[in-house]
Amino acid sequence: MEISTLILTILVALCAGLAVGVLTGVRLGAGVRRREQDGAADQVSATLQATSAVVAPVKDSLDRFDDRLRELESSGVAWQERLAAQVESVRLTGEGLRRETLSLATALRRPQVRGQWGEMHLRRAVELAGMVQHCDFTLQTSTRTADGMQRPDMLVRLAGGRHVVVDAKVPLEAFLRATDAAADDADDADDAHSQQLTQHARQVRQHIDALAAKAYWRQFAPAPEFVVMFVPGDAFLSHALDADPTLLEYAATRKVVPATPTTLIALLRTVSYAWTQESLADNAREVHDVACELYERLGTLGVHVDKVGRSLTTAVGAYNSAVGALEGRVLVSARRLHHLHVGDDEIAPSAPVEQVARPLSAPELVAHLDRTASSGDDRDAGSLPPTDDVTARRTG
């Protein structure tokens, strides 16, 4: 039964009881009470009206309260349904992730699959760093030593002809067993997990010793005296360091640099930047060589221009001498013929050339002329090498 209906029923019952009591008292007092019956009835009616006026707001409030309760109950049910759906989704996602993790762990237990997986992460790190395949790095380069064939996973070429060797064969067997132990519900699962992580750190240390013994920097000289041990996941290295905090220091003494994908990308980006700077330096050197060659050729051109000027001066002198001979000797005889009525028009005189060729005055050209004169270089304009020969020599 609703609360508002219950309270209203109680109030009505109280009012009815009060009315019954009043009426009973009236009946008992047959005389005076009968005369007061009308007044009592009026009083009861007024009491009922007053009670109704008091109860009405309470009833409205209770009705609104009931409506609110119904809304809260409805929303609570819907929220519980959504929460149950989300919990189920999380459970299914976790179950799928667990299956995929177990599948990956099972696959990584095979050395060949683990090697391919490590090379895939290695190649991805190289691509993210902008080091294109067969340009700045070489996968699976091998060299033969007295101990047999040594084959690192990657050989990074540095600017200046140097190399950095990267190995990606870090052991993960103990780490995978630790993962299985962590997923086990047995009582000794925590102890087994810790023991396997300790074994994982021990295997990483042994792999560091193996890489140090190979001394790749001797087979791929010139190379820095260290080898990069690529660990294909940050968790693999961090758990090993948790179990053995001295692992990094030990690797440094053995000339081995452990690198996760994050640190390897940073290293390769540094190498890529060095290649960019090397390319800029090569371009600058080529520009310098071309500029020096152009400067030298400008000096040679100045020598030829000076020869042309001197030839022009000689030609002007020869022209003026010819004009002098024409006017001083030839025209004198020609004028006599004109007076003898040979020819109708008088021969016009020829004017000498007063302009002379401007000599070279630039200090660079004058200095080059002096050097050419002192060395006895009397090459003419035809001695300049053709443009194709210049280009071929520069590109060669």
Which residue ranges make up each domain of the chain?
102-259, 294-395
pLDDT given at position 206 = 93
Tokens of 42: 């009026």
DSSP 108-149: HTSHHHHHHHHHHHHHHHHHHTT--BTTTEEET--EEETTEE
Residue-wise DSSP of 294-321: HHHHHHHHHHHHHHHHHHHHHHHHHHHH
Two tokens, residue 207: 């792999």
Rg (CA), the chain: 55
pLDDT at position 135 is 45
- Residues 275 and 396: their CA atoms lie apart, in Å, by 21
- Answer for the pair 293, 157: CB distance below 8 angstroms, yes or no: no
pLDDT tens for the 396 residues of the chain, in order: 456 666 666 766 666 666 666 666 555 555 555 666 666 666 767 777 777 776 677 777 777 877 888 888 777 777 788 888 888 888 777 777 666 666 655 656 666 666 677 778 888 888 888 776 544 455 555 555 555 456 777 888 877 777 888 888 888 888 888 877 766 666 677 788 888 889 999 999 999 999 988 888 777 777 777 889 998 888 889 999 999 999 999 999 999 999 998 898 888 888 888 888 888 888 999 999 998 888 888 888 888 888 888 888 888 888 888 877 877 777 777 777 666 666 666 666 666 666 667 776 777 777 777 777 776 554 444 444 443 443 333 343
Total-model pTM: 0.52
Instruction: Give the CA angle between residues 364, 366, 369 to the nearest 5°.
Output: 110
pLDDT single digits (tens) 296-347: 888 888 888 888 888 888 888 888 888 778 777 777 777 776 666 666 666 6
Residue in the block written with tokens 């600058």 = 284
Distance CA 208, CA 386 (A): 61
Per-residue pLDDT at 3:
64
